[in-house]
Structure 1
Amino acid sequence: MKMLRTMTRLLLLSLPGILAGDFAELDPEAAAVAEDPQFDPYDDKPRGVGADAEYAPKGRTVESFDFDPSEGLTFYVEGGSSQCFYQDAKFEGDELGGAYVVSSADSHIDLEVKNPEGVTIYRRLGDAEGQYLVTPKQAGVHELCFINPDSDGKLVTHVTNSLQSQHPVEKEHVSVLAKYASHLDVRLGELESELRLQLIRSDRHIKVEEEMNKHVMFYGTLECAVYLVVCFFQVYYIKSLLDSPRKARTWV
């Protein structure tokens, strides 16, 4: 019994030291936090995994842009027409980039980029959504045109800011805590932009379904009308045979 009491007292006396040692690890003043200069919030691959790993995520295209309505432009392109905008290349080699999504039933549109002399230097044809990146060989204002070759109008959303430009990692992010806070900000921004992009895609799919339903109803109604005309003709012909069997003509 005395031995048990002695062990209990020793445990109670040593408990504050154990707890103090544990909480010292959480106190930034008590223990220094090791820096991680290799940490990159935009690096999606797991820590310690090479870029050539089979399960390393692929580079994203449209999803890497910020589809915030305040950061982009949504416009309507009528059938057989085009909508043009302008991007300025400050110097030779200055990259011009962006992404676009079509949210109409017939979701295919052409994209052309022209240099200040009016020469087409980049072209994408028949995409429902896509990303473009142009490195012009001369500075100046470049023309960006969305061309609708079809007869139906189309709704296009165009953005130029990427998530990395919207959530940059500043040089002042020297502590591990600040870097991981920036990492969390980047991931939340990606999730928010992904939700907006999915809403645009869902709206496009809904319009496609509505257009298909219209076609089905039209051809269904046309088929019913043809059946009614054939039935009416058959009834009329049989009635004519019964009314005057001798005068009725045969099909032979």
Structure 2
Amino acid sequence: MKIGFLVFVAVALLAFLCSPNAVYGIRFVIDREECFSHDVKYEGDTIHVSFVVIKADSTWHNSHEGVDLVVKGPTGDQIQDFRDKISEKFEFVAHQKGIHRFCFSNKSPYYETVDFDVHESHFTYYDQHAKDEHFNPLLEQISKLEEALYNIQFEQHWLEAQTERQAIVNEAMSKRAVHKAFYESAALIGASVLQVYLLRRLFERKLGMSRV
């Protein structure tokens, strides 16, 4: 029983590694608009999508405005519409197979670096491919485990992008805090020097008047 379970896990992992339906993730820099396409192979599949605005091409800007994303189906019908989002994760059921378009828009004056991820979930039923009542459940369990592994990979990718963005935001905030402290210290020193200079001039003037 234990050997059979190990064989089952090994076959599932092999199917996961060799399957062409791996998680599709890219990172790109957007100026104004960027569009990507994903070919949905089967009607009724669930499409998992996530994106994170990692950073902006500016030290003093943290992408608070976000980006817009419009998802359209093969016939041009609008499926999803997000506005001013820094991060989003969602899913939808593809009612038609074919090319689906994902168009990002950037209204910020800065270049934005975006991490974008798409995964198509397709569960295969093996009832028509094999008649062995003991073999069919094994194949279905392998398919379910494969899909679970893809979902874990998809979730991990999104969390890693979120963590990277937060690290960049924290670093930028630290730099701004250091710069602010430096400028405040410089202003305080300048005010102190000016105050000493004015007091010295005042004493010199009073001393000159007393001598007269």
TM-score scaled by length of structure 1: 0.54
The alignment status of 1:201 with 2:162, answered yes or no, reads: yes
Cα displacement string for residues 39-60 of structure 1 (whole angstroms, at most 9, x for unaligned residues): xxxxxxxxxxxxxxxxxxxxxx
Q: Distance in 1 between matches of 2:105 and 2:30?
A: 8
CA contact (8 A) 1:98 1:158 kept: no
Structure that is richer in strand per residue = 2
Aligned partner of 1:84 in structure 2 is 35
C-alpha RMSD of the superposition: 3.9
Q: Distance in 1 between matches of 2:154 and 2:79?
A: 29
Shift of 1:237: 0.8
Segments of 5+ residues of structure 1 without an aligned counterpart are 1-25, 27-65
Identity of aligned residues (%): 22
Aligned partner of 1:225 in structure 2 is 186
Structure that is richer in helix per residue = 2
Q: Distance in 2 between matches of 1:134 and 1:179?
A: 21
Q: Distance in 2 between matches of 1:67 and 1:197?
A: 15
Query: Aligned AA for 1:186?
Result: E
The alignment status of 1:146 with 2:116, answered yes or no, reads: no
Aligned partner of 1:235 in structure 2 is 196
Cα displacement string for residues 219-249 of structure 1 (whole angstroms, at most 9, x for unaligned residues): 212211221121111111111122221679x
The alignment status of 1:184 with 2:145, answered yes or no, reads: yes
TM-score scaled by length of structure 2: 0.62
Describe the shift of the 1:145–1:178 C-alpha distance in structure 2 as closer, same or farther (beyond 3 A).
closer
Q: Distance in 1 between matches of 2:75 and 2:33?
A: 19
Shift of 1:77: 0.9
The alignment status of 1:126 with 2:84, answered yes or no, reads: yes
Q: Which has the larger radius of gyration?
A: 1
Describe the shift of the 1:96–1:148 C-alpha distance in structure 2 as closer, same or farther (beyond 3 A).
farther
Which structure's relative contact order is higher, taking Cα pairs within 8 Å and 6+ residues apart? Answer: 2
Q: Aligned residue pairs: how many?
A: 174
